[in-house]
Amino acid sequence: MKYYIMFGPPGAGKGTHAAAVREKYNLCHLSTGELLRAEIAKGSELGLHAKSLIDKGSLVPDSVVEGMIENQFNEVKGVAGFLLDGFPRTLGQARDLDAILAKRGEEVTAVISLMISDETVKQRIAHRAAIEGRADDASEETINNRIKTYHTQTEPLIEYYKAQGKYHEVQAEEPTIEQNRAKVLALMETIEK
Ligand code: AMP
């Protein structure tokens, strides 16, 4: 099985490009953000607890997202692999993911990192707020917090995966989705070879 990680700051296009990659390579796209939003929509206890953290732009506890990911690894059948979007987001999650995969005799295949500037993050999220209506896209304070959270807690993963020789970066600042998608798909082809 393949285990790809779609990595990058909020608004980099992880979910958007994951859709194209999933289809082409028969992968299961797992977005921890979407799984959490589904829990919020259901009104579950987990969702209720997660909502207060998400609305502030903070991360939910590692154990919560790791549990959701492991459940999906156990349940989903008939795919060539998984495409993780928005997970891992902390060094703890990255180490735990390695352990979860090792138990299954598997490992991370590659990390596809979508790089955009903080300025572009703000522009993209402002644009998305009008389209998707996500509560955590609507407040400037929450967006700034998510950017800060990305730099302090998530960015260190770049070195972690570079050290494993699994890190691949795409400059995802092209003006259109199509141009950025073409770069991501070209990178996937070199990795899959
Ligand atoms: P996303 O849809 O990936 O932008 O995620 C939306 C929000 O869900 C994030 O700002 C976090 O509050 C929470 N979240 C998503 N994935 C994770 C994760 N791997 N670890 C902790 N919190 C997460």
Q: What is the pLDDT along the chain (193 residues), one digit of tens a residue?
A: 999 999 999 999 999 999 999 999 999 999 999 999 999 999 999 999 999 999 999 999 999 999 999 999 999 999 999 999 999 999 999 999 999 999 999 999 999 999 999 999 999 999 999 899 898 999 999 999 999 999 999 999 999 999 999 999 999 999 999 999 999 999 999 998 8
Tokens at 156, concatenated: 């260190």
Q: What is the pLDDT of residue 102?
A: 98
- CB neighbours (10 Å) of residue 71? 11
Write down the residue that tokens 């028969």 correspond to: 26
- Tell me if 18 sits within 8 A of 25, measured CB to CB: no
Q: What is the pLDDT of residue 62?
A: 98
Tokens at 185, concatenated: 């798909």
The CA distance from 61 to 50, in Å, is 9
Question: Distance from the CA of 2 to the center of ligand 1, in angstroms?
Answer: 22
- Tell me if 37 sits within 8 A of 85, measured CB to CB: no
Closest C-alpha residue for ligand 1 atom 22: 59
Q: What is the pLDDT of residue 56?
A: 94
Looking at residue 59, the DSSP 8-state letter turns out to be: P
- Whole-prediction pTM value? 0.96
Q: Both ends of the chain: CA-CA distance in Å?
A: 15
For ligand 1, what atom is nearest to the CA of residue 85?
3
Q: What are phi and psi of 40, to 5 degrees?
A: -65, -45
Write down the residue that tokens 């589904």 correspond to: 38
**Strand bridging mode 27-31 / 2-7:** unpaired
Q: What is the pLDDT of residue 10?
A: 96
Q: What is the pLDDT of residue 182?
A: 98
Closest C-alpha residue for ligand 1 atom 11: 59
Closest CA to 14 of 139, 184, 190, 188: 184
Pocket of ligand 1 contains residue 121 by CB under 6 Å? no
Task: Given CATH 3.10.530.10, say whether it is the number of domain 2-192.
Answer: no
Q: What is the pLDDT of residue 193?
A: 81
- At 112 the three-state DSSP class reads strand
